[in-house]
Amino acid sequence: MQVDAKHSQNRQTMLQDILHSIAENPKPQHCVPMMLQAAQAVTDATGACYLLFGEFQTCIMAGDNPYHSDALEKIAKALPKGLHFNPTAPDGDSLSLSDYLIAPIYLSGAITGAFSLMLNRPLTEDDHVLLTAIVDGLSIVTLNAEVRDDQERAYQLTSSLLNSIPDPLLVLDEDKCVLLMNPAAEKVFDMASVEARGKLVTDVVRSNALMEIAQTKNKNLNEWVSESDKTFVPRTEPVHDSEGHIEGWVLALRDITHFKKLNRNQNEFTRIVSHDLRSPLTSIQGFADMLGTGMVGELNEKQKHFVEKILSGVTQMTSLVDNIQDAGRYDPETGFYEMSRSHCDLGEIVKKIVDNHLVPAEKQELKVSVNLAADVPILNADGNMLERAITNLVDNAIKYTPNGGTIEVGVKREGETILISVADNGLGISPENQKHLFDRHVRIARQEHKKIKGSGLGLFIVRSVAQRHGGDAWVVSAEGSGTTFYMSIPLDGDNLIGSQQ
């Protein structure tokens, strides 16, 4: 009895050592040899083997193992769970002439490995209990190995993706500490990913504006300029777990330095060309006017017609140059125009535009009216910009409204906003065409408009002027029911009289 108790205690100690080894280091190369040696020692087996199938095949042996791993895998894959003595493959193959034991290792219903013993004696009931525990331990080790391999593959894939992205990326945990940085981010923030790992993002980015973006306190930062004068568009995206909870963040910085440079070059080129076109256009218009007034001699009807065509072309080119310059200057994102605010009476501006606007000869039956509300206050705004925007709206309405139609230009107050509207009863605009109507160089392709000249910049200028004053521009229209364009100017901030005093 004392011998059995001592034998049982030794086995218990052995199992405790195995469990401790698994807990300390679950890698198969560390704890599996101990488990195989324990199984071999307790059962007096001549050899033991652990075989892991699949892509990362692993074979660990103790003692003698005269058989090939392919044979063990073939037999094990045909077995259910449990301990099996001298099993054979479906084709009748066996491991050897000696007695042996095979226990398949199953994970998630699929066989992933096998344990085998070359037996030297019959097994006792206690041997069965111990071997079952060892097989369970090997299953845990196999599971840990597969999880570790999956994690390693995921980490390598993530690292490869991060390293292949040319824009700076930072991966943060839920406490906004840095987990990973790609090489582009290391260069921008002058810090290695290993050094940054575990640090708060505030200690890495060293920028108040970018820190607010990273902490999701400010989503309105459109651009950020680094210490090396590179321009980025920052964005944050949450990382969710399987239950939808946020467990981290990705801070991405899109490098737009090259595009900013191209845009500056384009704007500068446009400004120079537009400016240099004015001198020859003025010269052409001056000489054409002298021809038309008869200063260099009387013209016949055909010659007068040609002079009118020249002047019409010059007017169109001058208008195009004005629009190109205004589109570049007034653009709320890239424009270089410095607003010049002063007291502006929108009613007077609208009256002046309507009274002085030239209606084409072929549209003499077109009616243009003005509707001004009495409660519209004086604004602190850029009068030149507003006049250009309203002029474009009125000009568009006259060009695109058929003869005999009506146009109404209105100014009214709605709460803390001034609304400027230009309504017509023309052909209307489809919902599809309305989507991009305020973008650069967008014109509606319609048979009725084929002969109408334009650059597609007028409505872009209207929206830019509205946005530079803190407002917006939009359209309400339906095909066959006319169109109304709106421009809003909020009654707050710099738009109020005395706001800059």
Domain 2-153: CATH class, spelled out: alpha beta
As its CATH architecture, domain 342-495 has 2-Layer Sandwich (3.30)
Q: Is 437 within 8 Å of 459 (Cβ atoms)? A: yes
**Domain ranges within the chain, ordered by starting residue:** 2-153, 165-255, 259-330, 342-495
pLDDT by residue (tens digit) across 89-141? Answer: 888 777 776 889 999 999 888 888 999 999 989 998 888 988 998 898 888 88
For residue 333, the model assigns a pLDDT of 63
For residue 1, the model assigns a pLDDT of 34
Closest CA to 188 of 179, 196, 176, 200: 196
In the block, tokens 């309305």 appear at 434
Domains 2-153 and 165-255 share a fold: yes
For residue 373, the model assigns a pLDDT of 92
For residue 474, the model assigns a pLDDT of 94
- How many Å is the maximal CA-CA distance in the chain? 141
For residue 265, the model assigns a pLDDT of 77
For residue 478, the model assigns a pLDDT of 87
Q: CA–CA distance from 150 to each of 154, 156, 353, 459 (Å)?
A: 6, 10, 71, 55
For residue 386, the model assigns a pLDDT of 93
Element holding 304 (H helix, E strand): helix 301-330
**Which option is the CATH number for 165-255: 3.30.450.20, 3.40.50.620, 3.40.50.970, 3.20.20.70?**
3.30.450.20
**Phi/psi at 225 (5° precision):** -105, 125
pLDDT by residue (tens digit) across 348-404? Answer: 999 999 888 777 766 778 888 999 999 899 999 989 889 989 998 998 888 888 888
For residue 65, the model assigns a pLDDT of 74
Residues of the chain with pLDDT under 50: 1-6, 501
In the block, tokens 């009216």 appear at 369
